Amino acid sequence: MPKLGVNIDHIATLREARKIFEPDPIKGAEIAQKAGADSIVAHLRQDRRHIKESDMFKMREIITTRFNMEMSVNPEIVELTLKIKPDQATLVPENRQEITTEGGLDVISNFERIKKVVDDLKTNDIIVNLFIDPRADQIEASKQTGAEAIELHTGEYSNASSSNEEDRYLQEIKEAVGLGLSSGFIVHAGHGLNYKNVRRIAEIKGIEELNIGHSIISEAVFVGLREAVSEMKKLITL
């Protein structure tokens, strides 16, 4: 059974819509931990569009499970990561115009830079996870960096437009899990997983952890809305 990493970025996205103090992603991390999350994931982007560095430092204080920081290989972010000291760093590609992380890291084309960042993080006792597409050449290049873990991008599977396409992407992920394990990696998976499509990925043997954000935060709105409305109703009822 895979573990569950909960990405709390989109609590901060909602906060930034008003640029005030609520909803607080730290409170979200506490609730997710109490509900059984095996790790808390947050992405400190270069544009700080949701999570801020102050969130990351506070998160470090309260996370009792495992703190998995998503990050680019940008030097400023790497320097901050060494100060924040997450338990795990997940290296992701970052493009300023993107709505969310698009595609996995191209470890082959950016090998030297990625290897240097992996070395720096490992020297500081941070476990390194590379977010890559489920492809043999990227898995092989990842091995040469010295990273301990890979996270297979499930975006194509999640966005499949037919069941044939979904089956094909699922098969690719299964093969990549097998290759990742035989290369000695801890294998994770994530991106675009939701309450409908997660089961087939969770059934793949050998995946250590699934990292899920958007669909959990989306579902939380509706799971919590009834209580939120009735609490406000009580307050204004004189």
The reply to whether 212 sits near ligand PXP by the rule CB under 6 A is: yes
User: Does residue 43 carry a catalytic annotation?
Assistant: yes
The H-assigned helical ranges of 45-162 are 53-62, 75-84, 111-123, 136-145, 155-158
Stretch that binds ligand PXP, among 59-67, 108-116, 138-146, 210-218 (CB under 6 A): 210-218
Nearest one of 116, 195, 192, 200 to 155, comparing CA atoms: 192
Residue with tokens 């669909």: 215
The reply to whether 151 sits near ligand PXP by the rule CB under 6 A is: yes
The reply to whether 46 sits near ligand PXP by the rule CB under 6 A is: no
- Which 3 state secondary structure label does DSSP give 67? strand
Nearer to ligand PXP, 218 or 238 (CB): 218
The reply to whether 2 sits near ligand PXP by the rule CB under 6 A is: no
- Give the contact letters, 61-100, x = binds to ligand PXP (CB under 6 A), - = no: ---------x-------------------x-x-------x
Q: Which residues, including other chains, have CB under 8 Å from residue 182's CB and lie 6 or more apart?
A: none
The reply to whether 193 sits near ligand PXP by the rule CB under 6 A is: yes
Among 7, 72, 142, 197, binds ligand PXP (CB under 6 A): 7
**Size of the residue set binding ligand PXP (CB under 6 A):** 19
**Would you tell me how many other CB atoms lie within 10 Å of the CB of residue 175?**
14
Determine which one of 43, 50, 153, 188 is catalytic. 43
Determine which one of 50, 153, 188, 191 is catalytic. 191
Nearest one of 147, 154, 142 to 200, comparing CA atoms: 154
Among 14, 202, 214, 220, binds ligand PXP (CB under 6 A): 214
User: Does residue 214 carry a catalytic annotation?
Assistant: no
User: Does residue 140 carry a catalytic annotation?
Assistant: no
Stretch that binds ligand PXP, among 120-128, 169-177, 197-205, 212-220 (CB under 6 A): 212-220
DSSP for 147-198?
-SEEEEE-HHHHT-SSHHHHHHHHHHHHHHHHHHHHTT-EEEEESS--TTTH
CA distance to 8, 41, 57, 223, per residue, from 226 (Å): 21, 27, 33, 7
On the question of a cis peptide bond just before residue 23, with omega within 30 degrees of 0, the verdict is yes
Determine which one of 10, 50, 70, 94 is catalytic. 70
Q: Name the site residues for ligand PXP (rule: CB under 6 A).
A: 7, 9, 43, 70, 90, 92, 100-101, 131, 151, 190-193, 211-215
Active site residues: 43, 70, 191
